[in-house]
Amino acid sequence: MTQDCGTPLEAAADIIAGSSCLLAFTGAGVSADSGLPTFRGEGGLWGRYDERHLEIDHFREHPAECWETIRAIFYGTGAGFQPNDAHRVLAGWERDGILDFLVTQNIDGLHGQAGSRAVAEFHGSCSTLRCMRCGTAVEATAARIAASPPCCACGGVFKPGFTFFGEAIPERAREESFAAAGRADACIVIGSTGTVQPAASVPRLVKSHGGAVVEVNPEPSEFTRSITDVFLPMGAAEALRTLDVLVRGRLGK
Ligand SMILES: [Zn+2]
């Protein structure tokens, strides 16, 4: 790691302010400050729900049963989360020409809610539903979600618009993500531990053609040991609030 110019926060701000094409890559840690529960680890959702309910083959055979879990996790009392300062800073960076593109592994739609537009949702989003029979995509409204299981006018079952276990990554999001990584000269990784492939290859591509990597994670990750130039051991919202001030100070924005 190269942290020889001032504090790590200042070194990170130098990289971000000095880049001409910045990519942000976010994972569950960026939404943790909005209160979203994680899937794995202590207190994770898989301690309470059956992981098979998000496997595509199981869903095809038992859609109503799977929808009970899907509704509870993604559209039930847990819904209604709001963007936090990390989402807001990234949206502001895009608006002011500091950030070129954002790749997220999250399916919560919070980057879009915060105002980000140049976003690839690598694992899809829960804000849409797609018919398993005819492919029609519709907005995931409360009325549609209430049916058990939600069904299309054609009689097919609706599936949430995010990637299930055993399903391929949405092709367009994948292409946009790797294209953005191919042109980026710096990447800020936020709240992703780099264990889920192929998503974790996105920041690695930036590094492979000489780009610098800033990483924001509470604990060291797969990235820290391999591609990170500046590691900020912090929560996402706190780190982004501080970086926002430092970067804007350097750019006069
Ligand atoms: Zn249909």
Instruction: Provide the residues around ligand 1 (an ion) whose CB is within 5 A.
Output: 131, 133-134, 136, 152, 154, 156
pLDDT digits (tens, 9 = 90+) for 11-60: 999 999 999 999 999 999 999 888 887 676 666 777 788 889 999 999 99
Domains, the chain, with CATH or none = 8-34+84-123+168-251 (3.40.50.1220), 45-79+128-162 (3.30.1600.10)
Compute the distance from residue 101 Cα to the ligand 1 centre, in Å.
Answer: 33
**pLDDT bucket at 3, cuts 50 / 70 / 90:** very low
Rounded CA-CA distance 34/106 in Å is 13
Q: Return the structure tokens found at 42.
A: 């202590």
Q: If you average pLDDT over residues 182-198, what whole number do you get?
A: 95
Say which amino acid occupies 34.
S
Instruction: Catalytic residue, from 58, 87, 111, 123: name it.
Output: 123
The answer to whether residue 123 is catalytic is yes
In the block, tokens 């998000």 appear at: 54
pLDDT at 40: 64
Closest CA to 103 of 2, 177, 203: 177
- Identify the residue whose tokens are 């604990």: 219
CA of 227 to the centre of ligand 1 (A): 44
Residue 121 C-alpha to ligand 1 middle, in angstroms?
23
